[in-house]
Amino acid sequence: MENKKPNEKQIEEIADLLDCGMLCFYHRSTGTIESHPDPDDPFFDPEPWEDLMEKIEADWTNYDRFEKMESREAYQVMEKFAFSLDDAVFREEILQELSKRKPFQHFKMLIDDSEYRQDWFDFKKKAYIEFVKEQIDGM
């Protein structure tokens, strides 16, 4: 059977799942996407995911695994978003918040209460799609 690569719609789905903290697996011969929460997460409950995890493990060589961004990479996306803004005052506010302890929390609070909230979601989605494409290119 021919090995497939994810199409644009699947890349977007994988990006969304990764952004939600899921681990994603693409089955090369069927073109299906499987996902489950990260087992390393301290709040992970394996019970509802056991069958899926066993299915993936049993056919491991036919799956490509997609990783979520590391916190360093996610931080860089927030920084790039700040630099993409024309609003110099808000850009400086973001950069100030990113320099504090708990930058993700501060960034989220600032963005959620701003007119740039949707711009941020769009920017982050594009960044995650590019991140998935980079992983595909490296496979």
CA angle 26, 133, 119 (to 5 degrees): 115
Nearest to 17 by CA among 44, 41, 39, 37: 37
Confidence of residue 3 (pLDDT cuts 50, 70, 90): confident
Distance, in Å, from the CA atom of 57 to the CA atom of 102, rounded to the nearest integer, reads 36
Distance, in Å, from the CA atom of 113 to the CA atom of 21, rounded to the nearest integer, reads 23
Confidence of residue 4 (pLDDT cuts 50, 70, 90): confident
Quick one: how far is CA 129 from the chain centroid?
8
Q: What is the pLDDT of residue 1?
A: 57
Per-residue pLDDT tens over the stretch 61-104? 999 999 999 999 999 999 999 999 999 999 999 999 999 999 99
Burial class (CB in 10 A: 0-12, 13-18, 19+), 9: exposed
- Provide the 3-class DSSP secondary structure of residue 35: strand
Neighbours of 41 (CB within 10 A): 10
Per-residue pLDDT tens over the stretch 9-62? 999 999 999 999 999 999 999 999 999 999 988 899 999 999 999 999 999 999
More confident call, 2 vs 53: 53
- Residue 106, pLDDT > 80, answer yes
**pTM of this structure:** 0.89
